[in-house]
């Protein structure tokens, strides 16, 4: 109990609170700009956390993710262009409301719903992570290996249009993670005589290149992109067209709870993420509504359903990271880099070795929700102005930050060259529809996968029978086979529905 109280008190230092506020503000700005998103901002910001206190650094990055997820709804509502992919479902009812002159009302219900879903999942994380970690501590190398295989299979199947492409991305990520010193023999491998590669490929160079710079290349490819019409917030509108009344909020409360549950469940499972959660939440709200025809025409319940669901993923996607050391999405994969910088290895031992830090992060997350509400409410009109910034100003700034971030992370121009290489690789992966999400997660999990595999082979003396002697391994193996069977079955049925 003393560790818990000390951790939460650590979160309330002036330094920590200042960085959380900065993270939330940066996240909303970035999320509001189409083409930029929270994970991209996290990748760029990780090098900035080198000299921050551990709690402040992690809370700052999580704050960026929180603000970025909400910020995506601003462009979705006012431009009909989601600032981030998870805000796509918000367009359905947000943009029609904006066209009716109720843009401020739509933005406020999106804000309140975001905070509700985010806080709900944070509380679930705080309550369930430690008990799950106790169970995870009893898992040996074979169990960890089976969980990694299952997680990568799910992420590959859900993040990619083709399972094979997703698995190729994951496999390539694991392959690149093996570059550097062999953990058993301490000899260089796949370094091609370059001493810079003896410590392995930099996660920051890979992340910044694949997430941020490659997206800039994709956006620059689009020629003659005209600015969409922005529906300005009209102060002359009637109060009921600008404000959310208590009765209106109460009317969507059941939807908020339902979507928060959906988003929390989706976030706790690796690969299911915020995009799926938002559409599932929206669909569930429409099916449960007494007036489903009003959805898509400016129903605030549709905005509430989508935003509560996608924001509920933020807290719960840290459950597999904190308990098993497995990132559930790109944002949590980037957080691993920040943890490692500060000497912390995510996983069940984190609760024993760094319990005070964990509960300090929990406190920072709750403070972040309060700041998200304050920043979102006060800065509403300021953030709307972000949408009018010309792209020819934004992208050069992003490129400069990418180069600076990659250099700071390793103090090496070689890392900048690697970042450019991965930017080009990420560009072609996106064009060819290979999953860069499974690629990054595979790279992050590569060392853990290799170590678990080697330990399993040593324990079993190369005897595969050990799989059938461990119930947890069998369970995850069955789950993996069933998932693969369902994906192949679905893919085989799809062509039959197509004409001709």
pLDDT, greater one: 268 or 409: 268
Q: Specify if 500 maps to a domain.
A: no
Q: Specify if 207 maps to a domain.
A: yes
Residue 371 above 90 pLDDT? Answer: yes
Residue 114 above 60 pLDDT? Answer: yes
Dist CA 47 CA 68 (whole Å): 18
pLDDT, tens digit (0-9, with 9 covering 90-100), for 312-326: 988 888 888 888 787
Dist CA 167 CA 439 (whole Å): 9
pLDDT, tens digit (0-9, with 9 covering 90-100), for 72-85: 888 788 777 666 66
Residue 222 pLDDT class (50, 70, 90 cuts): low
Q: Specify if 499 maps to a domain.
A: no
Q: Specify if 442 maps to a domain.
A: yes
Dist CA 336 CA 275 (whole Å): 22
Say if pTM beats, i.e. exceeds, 0.85: no
Q: Specify if 384 maps to a domain.
A: yes
Contact between 435 and 425 (Cβ < 8 Å) = no
Q: Specify if 157 maps to a domain.
A: yes
Dump the DSSP string for 95-137. Answer: HHHHHTT-HHHHHHHHHHHHHHHHHHHHHHHHHHHHHHHHHHT
Alpha helix (H) residue ranges in 184-299: 203-207, 214-221, 239-242, 246-251, 253-268, 273-288
Return the pLDDT at 409. 64
pLDDT, tens digit (0-9, with 9 covering 90-100), for 16-52: 999 999 999 998 888 877 667 777 788 888 888 888 8
pLDDT, tens digit (0-9, with 9 covering 90-100), for 428-451: 888 887 877 778 778 877 887 888
- Cα dihedral 141, 143, 147, 148, rounded to 10, equals 20
Dist CA 283 CA 468 (whole Å): 40
Residue 497 pLDDT class (50, 70, 90 cuts): very low
Which residues span the domain enclosing 74?
Answer: 2-493
Dist CA 29 CA 297 (whole Å): 27
Q: Per the structure, how many domains does the chain have?
A: 1
Mean pLDDT, the chain, integer: 80
Residue 237 above 80 pLDDT? Answer: no
Q: Specify if 498 maps to a domain.
A: no
């Amino acid at each position: 109990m003393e560790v818990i109280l000390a951790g939460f008190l650590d979160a309330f230092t002036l330094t920590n609170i200042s960085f959380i506020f900065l993270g939330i503000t940066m996240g909303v700005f970035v999320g509001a700009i189409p083409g930029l998103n929270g994970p991209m901002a996290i990748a760029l910001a990780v090098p900035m956390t080198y000299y921050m206190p551990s709690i402040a650094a992690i809370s700052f990055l999580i704050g960026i993710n929180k603000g970025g997820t909400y910020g995506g709804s601003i462009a979705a509502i006012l431009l009909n262009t989601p600032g981030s992919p998870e805000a796509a479902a918000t367009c359905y009812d947000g943009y029609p409301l904006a066209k009716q002159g109720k843009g401020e009302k739509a933005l406020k219900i999106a804000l309140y719903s975001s905070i509700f879903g985010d806080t709900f999942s944070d509380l679930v994380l705080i309550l369930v992570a430690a008990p799950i970690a106790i169970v995870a501590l009893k898992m040996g190398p074979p169990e960890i290996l089976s969980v990694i295989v299952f997680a990568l299979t799910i992420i590959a199947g859900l993040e990619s249009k083709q399972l094979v492409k997703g698995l190729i991305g994951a496999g390539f990520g694991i392959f690149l993670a093996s570059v550097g010193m062999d953990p058993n023999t301490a000899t260089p491998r796949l370094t091609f005589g370059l001493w810079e590669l003896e410590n392995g490929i930099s996660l920051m160079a890979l992340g910044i290149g694949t997430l941020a710079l490659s997206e800039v290349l994709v956006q620059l490819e689009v020629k003659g992109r005209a600015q969409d019409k922005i529906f300005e917030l009209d102060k002359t509108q009637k109060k009921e067209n600008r404000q959310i009344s208590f009765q209106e909020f109460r009317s969507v409360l059941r939807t908020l709870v339902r979507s928060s549950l959906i988003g929390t469940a989706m976030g706790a499972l690796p690969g299911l993420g915020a995009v799926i959660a938002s559409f599932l939440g929206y669909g569930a709200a429409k099916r449960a509504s007494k007036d489903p025809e009003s959805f898509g025409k400016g129903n605030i319940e549709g905005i509430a359903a989508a935003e509560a669901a996608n924001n509920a993923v933020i807290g719960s996607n840290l459950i597999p990271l904190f308990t098993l050391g497995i990132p559930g999405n790109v944002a949590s994969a980037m957080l691993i880099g920040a943890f490692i910088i500060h000497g912390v290895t995510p996983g069940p031992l984190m609760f024993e070795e760094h319990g005070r830090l964990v509960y300090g992060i929990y406190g920072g997350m709750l403070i972040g929700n309060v700041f998200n509400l304050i920043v979102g409410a006060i800065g509403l009109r300021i953030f709307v102005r972000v949408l009018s910034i010309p792209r020819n100003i934004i992208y050069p700034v992003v490129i400069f930050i990418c180069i600076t971030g990659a250099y700071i992370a390793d103090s090496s121009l070689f890392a900048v060259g690697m970042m450019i290489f991965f930017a080009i690789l990420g560009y072609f992966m996106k064009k060819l529809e290979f999953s860069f999400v499974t690629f990054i997660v595979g790279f992050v999990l590569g060392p853990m996968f290799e170590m678990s595999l080697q330990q399993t082979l040593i324990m079993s003396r190369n005897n595969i029978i050990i799989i059938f002697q461990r119930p947890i391994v069998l369970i995850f193996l069955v789950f993996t086979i069933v998932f693969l069977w369902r994906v192949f079955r679905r893919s085989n049925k799809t062509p039959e529905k197509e004409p001709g």
